[in-house]
Amino acid sequence: MNKPLRRIAIFCGLLVLALLIRDNWLQYVRADELNSHKYNRRVQIERYAYERGNIIVDGKPITGSAETNDTDFKYKRTYVDGPMWAPVTGYASQAFDANQIEKLEDGVLTGNSDQLFFDRTMAMFTGDQKRGGNVVTTLSGAAQKAAYKGLGSKKGAVAAIDPKTGKILALASTPSYDPSSFAGYAGKDEKAWNALEKDKEKPKLNRALREVYPPGSTFKVVTAAAALEHGEIDDINAATDTPEPYILPNTRTPMVNHANGCKNASLMKALEVSCNSVFAKLGDQVGRDKMLETAQKFGFNNPEIDTPVRAAASVYNKTMNRSSNALSSIGQFDTATTPLQMAMVAAAIANDGKLMKPYMIDQLESPNLDVIKKNEPEEMSRPLSQKNAQLLQQMMENVVESPSGTGGKAKIDGATVGGKTGTAQHGENNSKRPYAWFISYAKTDSGSPVAVAVVVEDSSGVSRDDITGGGLAGPIARDVMQAVLESKK
């Protein structure tokens, strides 16, 4: 072979080699990336080529699939009581992708998961149409309905947990949206999506998991737990050395009480009527670092609480000064929390000091209903001892049972209820309407099957002076707890 032909042959060989390398790079190294790329329309088409598996509550599907006339997308997602369940399911849209459980468990729901390889292979031999698997949740339909109905036209959220297992029983957020309204690819679906995107009330925001609020006086149970755990209090009925007024450390600013009888009040009395001075002073006595230690055992500052939908991190400041720590100890300054986090606080106390990891997927099922994955309860931490948890239970139950307690509207006949109210100021110079909080648990002789956190962010038609945790949020928590108790009978 002469020299020019040899050069051409070598050059062509290099081109073929480069083509092979590139082809293998695309097919193997970048395959997953390209298959899931947002601009790969074939992924979306394939996702809706078959009936999607369902999300299950109480043994019944809260989702479905409807056949369409579209040339690309054969099926689209449908929802039962979509606005009520949207904070749980998320959405699956032909045009706008998916989120929450619909996104996180997309492989099982579409039937494309490696866990369903055997089912897909068998379908090839039998000629059966490909089907998706199911996601079975831990949710209680009765509890979710009570939460959603209780919130009504109010802006807010509810989270309810089984303290013994960590199973999420309810997760409601209002205002909400209907995922069915933009599940397709038609013009009306785009209009519905754009309207939601522009809505200042943020109906697509999952307030139970993804919004953080100042917890107000509900945080006082965390401060009480820290005081008990770190030895600042050993007798919850003994008088505390709390002056009236109490001056915040290193300032001339008096701590304002909205209750009477706070001077030297015992821890029991201080929680009953919600004395700011007692808990601000206790927080200072415990100190920032030990307050931080207790808060973090409850879940604060943890950016990886997955349900499997990831919750926003609740915050207890790690670097604040003494006066700010005192304010944070009553749930103000920059202490911020999700409703889920405060339900976890109530659940840990109800469960004698053991905090279970919250989760809302019980199991994953194949199309023929075989269980392919089962989630089991998992301990997350021990924020406080059994003894101190039981002391806190006495205090929270007194908040509900005492005639002068702030949580009387949460009482349930035939059950023992422990609770704590909170009214959190916010906005510059507290100019905005306060948030109304209530955290609680209910128990019977069989144990404590439910802990709840409710926050009402804004309640139209209610005067500012009437916005209280006990008045607005307490009845919602009561109805959710009652729904769970009745479902256990």
Q: Give catalytic residue positions.
A: 217
Distance, in Å, from the CA atom of 332 to the CA atom of 152, rounded to the nearest integer, reads 27
Q: Which is nearest to 408 in space by CA: 475, 453, 464?
A: 475
Distance, in Å, from the CA atom of 132 to the CA atom of 74, rounded to the nearest integer, reads 14
Torsion over CA of 432, 469, 138 and 352, rounded to 10 degrees?
130
Phi, psi for 141 (deg, rounded to 5): -60, -40
Distance, in Å, from the CA atom of 407 to the CA atom of 473, rounded to the nearest integer, reads 10
Rounded to a whole number, what is the distance in angstroms from the first to the last CA of the chain? Answer: 92
Token pair 């996601």 in the structure block, residue: 135
Q: Which is nearest to 383 in space by CA: 455, 293, 448, 265?
A: 293
Is residue 382 helix, strand or coil?
coil
Q: Which is nearest to 488 in space by CA: 428, 446, 435, 425?
A: 446
- DSSP-derived secondary structure for 134-171: EEEE---HHHHHHHHHHHTTSEEEEEEE-TTT-BEEEE
Are the C-beta atoms of residues 369 and 56 closer than 8 Å to each other? Answer: no
Distance, in Å, from the CA atom of 479 to the CA atom of 113, rounded to the nearest integer, reads 39
Distance, in Å, from the CA atom of 108 to the CA atom of 338, rounded to the nearest integer, reads 29
Q: Which is nearest to 360 in space by CA: 174, 206, 150?
A: 206
Phi, psi for 268 (deg, rounded to 5): -60, -50
The rounded radius of gyration (Å) of the Cα atoms in the chain is: 27
Are the C-beta atoms of residues 340 and 293 closer than 8 Å to each other? Answer: no
Name the DSSP class of 29.
Answer: I
Q: Where is 87: in which H helix or E strand?
A: helix 82-89
Q: Secondary structure of 278-336 in the HEC alphabet?
A: HHHHHHHHHCHHHHHHHHHHHCCCCCCCECCCECCCCECCCCCCHHHHHHHCCCCCCCE
